[in-house]
Amino acid sequence: MGYKSMAACIADLEKNGHLIRIKEEVDPHLEMASIHLRVHAAKGPAILFEKVKGSSFPAVSNLFGTLERSRFIFRDTLDQVKKMVQLKGDPSIAFKKPLKYLGTPFAAIKALPLKSRFGAPILKNNTQIDRLPLIHHWPMDGGAYVTLPIVYTEDAEKPGVMNSNLGMYRIQLTGNEFIANKEIGLHYQIHRGIGVHQTKANALGKPLHVSIFVGGPPSHSFAAVMPLPEGLSELTFAGALGGRRFRYVNRDGHTLSSEADFVITGKVYPKETKPEGPFGDHLGYYSLKHDFPLMKVDNVYHREGAIWPFTVVGRPPQEDTSFGDLIHEITGSIIPKEIPGLHEVNAVDEAGVHPLLFAIGSERYTPYVETKQPAELLTIANHILGFGQMSLAKFLLISAKEDAPKLTLHDKEGFFKHMLERVDWTRDLHFQTKTTIDTLDYSSKDLNAGSKVVIAAVGSPKRILGTKKPLIELPEMVRGIEFAFNGVLAIQLEKFSDYESEEKIIQTLCKSLSNQKETLEEFPLLVICDDVKFVAESFSNLIWSVFTRANPSHDIYGVDSFIEHKHWGCAGSLIIDSRMKPHNAPYLELDPEIEKRVDAMGAKGGSLFGVI
């Protein structure tokens, strides 16, 4: 079944018990986001807000709130799409299993974009930016944002829908220096297709025509975040996943989705930027205010009965986690085919995806050598760090398939233990400094720049990991110590001041621990933090704190560390400083007054009763 509209999807979800309606008026300033976060945390249904204060348009959130609901939405097409992506990744499988893949190429052809010849619902009405649901998600956000935009651009050198790019880049509708109803902020991160399109338009001295689709069939939203194999169009993928061809019209030099609920059209002119942000982002921190492209608005179209979809991002897991899970389900089998020797890779959601990658690869270069050391694993790691958006990874932990054939990255805690049991800190750390990292990662002082480290472990276990807090002597500077995970201790120090001062303090700590290396042999990893109780509370807290806040080149230390021919290592425990630094972005916190207000709304009864 292919949904023709967002309304059709909502009706289907409601019919099958996957959606609730909130009939009371709700304020888009923080209240709607608060309700969404509560419902999502409870693994609740999609939410239709019928009355949005200040707007005549209803809004819907949590559509993709669980993997099960995402599968339900695409239940009629998901298997066929998996086959299509697998076939694109490895065409030879069609010859190996012809019956299984029979008809798959024809399904892709049938999903090609279709130009609407007899008008389109989206052209029926015009509105203005300030009449849309202006949703303010987190207290320090710079304004109202579109959080499920489908941003469409074309190649200025080769225009047309088959040379287009769909991407999901947040859009700031209000605030900062933007002229109301005439300008909006277009934020996109590095390694995104729109950047290529803007570069080409700039070179030709032309403005980049941009169309922002909001709503429409849910397959369109999913296509905008899907990392597709080279040569597979997002529009074709949207058609295949939605079971219905992507329909479009052209108007005033712009391409519009015929079936979107809203389309904002405009132009981005060369070298024109304005400050965008802050915005509460999916790493669990604010991304700060920076200059980003400015989009000058031409028109805001909407269809009859338009519904505004949105989501709320924050510390994982959130609704976008389901996007990631479904993407992995669809594409997980093709990435190993692209990278020889790779068996499995997982961008760890608890750490905000890009900061941390887990991988399992083969180690086959020297099967005749008894003492194992990483060799093929390093080749694979270099390939991973040059592959698509995985190139934005900051920490890459990779192990050998041969050492634990049944180990899977679905077992994140098991994989982390496996690494800590085998890692040799004198050998297995491989740094890249002054390189690119994710735009949203503020572990470095510089935007888009920082460092990376590959940790590759191979062979038999080198140690038994400690499972309780050991008795060790600590200098007076230590404010607390806790067992955080097998082989991991959390150590609390005073608030971070500056790197010059802290390096001296941590070196003093390292000297103290050097005399206790035998006691600490069971604990290869020590984490310096602001709150040992929080870090030790769960594996999720540990992973989130360490890998989102640490910059490998600046925040990794070690007991008995050394530099040998530019290779850094340590003979004792590795130390990662995960304290908040002055340049780190602040983490996300809810507004207490808003939370009280939402509590009161739920207590009053009505359609909110029992929901929040």
pLDDT in tens, 74-87: 999 998 888 877 76
Query: What percentage of the chain has pLDDT greater than the value 90?
Result: 72
Please count the other Cβ atoms lying within 10 Å of the Cβ belonging to residue 567: 12
Say if CB 455 and CB 439 are below 8 A apart: no
Burial bucket for residue 602 (CB in 10 Å: 0-12, 13-18, 19+):
middle
Residue with tokens 């190139």: 391
Say if CB 257 and CB 280 are below 8 A apart: no
pLDDT in tens, 21-56: 999 999 999 999 999 999 999 999 999 999 999 999
Outline where 42-175 has alpha helix (H): 67-73, 78-89, 93-96, 104-110
Retrieve residue 202's tokens: 């700039």
Q: What is the DSSP string of 240-257?
A: HHHTSPPEEEEETTEEEE
The pLDDT of residue 260 is: 96
Q: Between 326 and 193, where is the model more confident? A: 326
The pLDDT of residue 100 is: 53
Sequence-ordered list of residues with C-beta below 8 angstroms from that of 145, at least 6 positions apart, any chain: 135, 136, 137, 170, 171, 172, 173, 279
AA identity, residue 127? T
Report, as an integer, the average pLDDT of 120-149.
Answer: 96
d(CA 94, CA 537): 49
How many residues in the chain? 612
- Residue 179, sorted as left (phi over 0), alpha (psi -120 to 50) or beta, turns out to be beta
Q: Where are the domains of the chain?
A: 6-73+111-315, 320-457, 480-577
Mean pLDDT estimate for the chain: 91
d(CA 216, CA 329): 23
The pLDDT of residue 598 is: 93
Q: Is the pLDDT of residue 106 over 70?
A: no
Q: Between 302 and 190, where is the model more confident? A: 302
d(CA 394, CA 486): 23
Least confident interval from 96-100, 356-360, 485-489: 96-100
End-to-end CA distance of the chain: 32
The pLDDT of residue 99 is: 45
The pLDDT of residue 229 is: 62
Task: Given CATH 3.40.1670.10, say whether it is the number of domain 320-457.
Answer: yes
**How would residue 102 be classed by pLDDT, with cut points 50, 70 and 90?**
very low
Q: Between 489 and 440, where is the model more confident? A: 489
Query: What percentage of the chain has pLDDT greater than the value 70?
Result: 94
CA atoms within 13 A on the CB side of 549: 25
Q: Between 311 and 602, where is the model more confident? A: 311
The pLDDT of residue 228 is: 72
The pLDDT of residue 103 is: 54
The pLDDT of residue 101 is: 45
pLDDT in tens, 157-201: 888 888 888 989 999 999 999 999 999 999 987 667 788 888 888
pLDDT in tens, 228-269: 765 678 898 899 899 999 999 999 999 999 999 999 999 999
**How would residue 370 be classed by pLDDT, with cut points 50, 70 and 90?**
confident
CATH of 6-73+111-315 given 3.20.20.80, 3.40.640.10, 3.40.50.150, 2.30.110.10: 2.30.110.10
**How would residue 483 be classed by pLDDT, with cut points 50, 70 and 90?**
very high
